């Protein structure tokens, strides 16, 4: 079994395959996965706002975290399809507002396989919000299938940053 690593990085082949808005050029949304904490993607007005992360191959994900500002309600969906379609619900989380600092929030801490992750910001604490980083920890899916094999179950459930308390939002 491989070592748990950060998968949502441009340097690892991850791309932002879709973004519903961007201040400036479309490349602005790739700041979510550039590995820097001082760059960000800024939404442009009305909610919902959506972005999709695509990995070069299916991966086994053990945790998903977000570093943001003024995000109120966000949902996460996954897809194992070749192209970003047929998404399945993973979770929805309401984030607490922070006073002039980043929201650092663990969105999900359980293993699943995905090739694409769709993040939908359903509401914010202001007209616009920012996403500084998305951290996706896990390993490459060696089997290539849609199920986690017995030898792939030893992935730690949680790694990385200490996060603020979260409230799981009721699923609509």
More confident residue, 77 or 22: 77
Which of 89, 88, 107, 98 minimizes the C-alpha distance to 160? 107
Beta carbons of 50 and 120 less than 8 angstroms apart? yes
Structure tokens at 82: 């070749």
Beta carbons of 43 and 129 less than 8 angstroms apart? yes
Which domains can be identified in the chain, with CATH numbers?
A: 5-145 (2.60.120.260)
Average pLDDT, the chain: 85
Q: With H, G, I as helix, E, B as strand and everything else as coil, classify residue 47.
A: coil
pLDDT in tens, 32-74: 999 998 899 998 878 999 999 999 999 999 999 999 999 999 9
Give the Cα separation of 105 and 164 in Å (integer). 6
Give the residues across from 116 on adjacent strands.
Answer: 54, 79
Neighbours of 36 (CB within 10 A): 10
Concatenate the DSSP letters of all residues of 85-121 into one string: -S-EEEEEEEPPP-SSS-EEEEEE-S-EEEEEEEEEE
Q: What is the dihedral of CA 106, 164, 134, 48, to 10 degrees?
A: 90
Beta carbons of 79 and 95 less than 8 angstroms apart? no
pLDDT, residue 131, reads: 95
pLDDT, residue 147, reads: 63
**The model scores a pTM over 0.95:** no
């Amino acid at each position: 079994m491989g070592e748990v690593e950060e998968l949502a990085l441009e340097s690892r082949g991850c791309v932002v395959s879709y973004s519903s808005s961007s201040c400036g050029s479309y490349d602005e949304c790739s700041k979510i996965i550039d590995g820097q904490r001082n760059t960000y993607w800024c939404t442009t007005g009305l909610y919902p706002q959506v972005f999709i992360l695509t990995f070069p191959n299916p991966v086994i994900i053990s945790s998903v975290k977000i570093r943001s500002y003024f995000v109120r309600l966000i949902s996460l969906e996954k897809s194992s399809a070749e192209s970003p379609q047929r998404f399945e619900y993973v979770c929805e989380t309401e984030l607490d507002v922070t006073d002039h600092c980043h929201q650092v929030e663990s969105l999900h801490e359980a293993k699943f396989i995905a090739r694409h992750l769709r993040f939908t910001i359903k509401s914010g604490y202001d007209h616009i919000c920012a996403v500084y980083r998305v951290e996706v920890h896990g390993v490459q899916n060696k089997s290539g299938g849609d199920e986690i094999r017995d030898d792939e179950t030893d992935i730690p459930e949680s790694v990385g940053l200490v996060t603020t308390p979260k409230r799981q939002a009721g699923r609509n």
